[in-house]
Amino acid sequence: MTIQPKRFYFIDIFRAITMLLMIFVNDLWSLKGVPAWLEHARTDQDFLGFSDIVFPCFLFIVGMSIPYAIRNRLAKGESYQKILLHIGLRSLALLVMGFFTVNITDLNVEASGLSREGFQIWMVAGFFLIWNVYPKSEDWKKYLFSGLQLVGVLILISLAYFFKGGKDGLQNMTPQWWGILGLIGWTYLISAPIYLFARKSAALLLGIWLLFTLLNITWHAGWHNPIPGGGAFQGFAFAGIAASLLFDRATDAAKRKKLPLLYIGAGILLVISGFIMRNFFIISKNQATPTWVFLCNGIAFGFLAIIYFIVELKGKAGWFDLIKPAGTSTLTCYLIPYVYYSIATYAFTLPLFLKTGVIGLLKSFVYAMIIIGITALLGKLKIKLKI
């Protein structure tokens, strides 16, 4: 008997909205006259731009998903070793993707003989060949799919071999800050095993959340900390795990009606803590300051309360059907823009009025919806990344 994993649609919808916003804010670079509050703050600027909130919300939802993913695997009878292997392979895939994407801007076109657009298209092709969800098969197709994965590996190896970066064209590919996907990989690699072994104690999980928060604070106080982001990203993930713990404790209809209030209450406490932290640290995404972590976690809890109220209590999940692929094929959705921008560079140039002010913002929103539409179409063609 196959156990079907239970899906909580408010989590998928939270993820879908976050991905929609991520695609939207990642397109703001193409516009002129963008309001400052929508963009990322500068590294040394004490400011929280709208764009600075999106990635934390995604890490928050990564944390929310961890308990249910691990429980489903345990329910299927998987051993700890098998689950840890899955976590390791999934994290490795994200680290590899982050490693390649973060090096794109450093590509020296003349030295490497590769255009940036060509590099991006081949890179994404390699990702899809390796990590596409191929149908299970025992006949000749099994060897075909394995061959396609091997081709994907060879593509990535070739790109890494021919890559030359820097102004002098002498630099090889380096991890740098790992890129968004790489940071998600590190967050998952650290957070998921901890949850696996500590999941039976809510108090211990909350203590671990506090520990990562303290590590982030001490990192900014000058203590050595080898964790990427100094524990900030794990702080977002464990805030999401805490949100899942609150959901699990709402075991009947009466308690679940009160759940949005609990989320809002947690959000308010975190925002207040963030403003207290501002006396010691500026709000800075690039520096991953504790102030940024507290404020964004508070906003994530508030956003979750709204989504839960609309989707679960009011039963309006259908309102979000159009963007659902962004919540269920998230990695596919994130990578498509690399190909889209590369093709668009040669295919067309938008007039200036479509890239300026309010009309430009509308253009970026339409663009994000197009990306989600392409994701849905690829899904129907059985092209979907899963790690």
The secondary structure of residue 173, as a DSSP letter, is -
Residue among 231, 238, 249, 250 nearest 206 (CA): 238
Report the alpha-carbon distance of residue 115 to residue 290 in Å, rounded.
39
pLDDT digits (tens, 9 = 90+) for 153-167: 999 999 999 999 998
Residue 251's pLDDT band, with cuts at 50, 70 and 90, is confident
Closest Cα partner for 296 from 63, 61, 62, 48? 48
pLDDT value of residue 1: 37
Report CA-CA distances (Å) from 162 to 206, 346, 360: 46, 23, 37
The pLDDT assigned to 6 comes to 52
d(CA 362, CA 251): 42
pLDDT digits (tens, 9 = 90+) for 345-366: 888 888 999 999 999 999 999 9
What does residue 385 show for φ and ψ, rounded to 5 degrees? -80, 140
| Buried b or exposed e, range 14-44, using 16+ CB within 10 angstroms | bbbbbbbbbbbbbbbebbeebeeeebbbeee
- For residues 287 and 295, give the distance between their C-alpha atoms in angstroms, rounded to a whole number: 14
- Letter string b/e over residues 235-261, b meaning 16 or more CB atoms within 10 A of that residue's CB: bbbbbbbbbbebbeebeeeeeeeebbe
Over residues 30-56, the pLDDT tens digits come to: 999 999 999 999 999 999 999 999 999
What are the structural domain ranges in the chain?
9-103+174-380
pLDDT given for residue 42 in this prediction: 94
pLDDT in tens, 174-187: 999 999 999 999 99
Average pLDDT over residues 181-199: 97
For residue 7, what pLDDT band results from cuts at 50, 70 and 90? low
Kindly indicate the confidence band of residue 226, based on its pLDDT and cuts at 50, 70 and 90. Answer: confident
Please check whether residue 227 is in contact with residue 217, taking contact to mean a CB–CB distance below 8 angstroms. no
Residue that the structure tokens 């090889």 belong to:
172
Is the pLDDT score of 4 beyond 70?
no
CA distances from 147 to 141, 152, 211 (A): 10, 9, 45
Query: Which residues, 6+ apart, have CB-to-CB distance to 94 below 8 Å?
Result: 181, 182, 184, 185, 188, 387
Is the Cα torsion angle 363, 367, 373, 377 positive or negative in sign? positive
pLDDT at residue 229 in the model: 87
| Token pair 């609150």 in the structure block, residue | 246
Question: Which of the residue ranges 134-138, 197-201, 202-206 would you say has the lowest mean pLDDT?
Answer: 134-138
Considering the entire predicted model, what is its pTM? 0.94
Q: Identify the weakest region by mean pLDDT among 102-111, 130-139, 230-239.
A: 130-139
Residue pLDDT, tens place only, 74-101:
999 999 999 999 999 999 999 999 999 9
Calculate the average pLDDT of the chain: 94
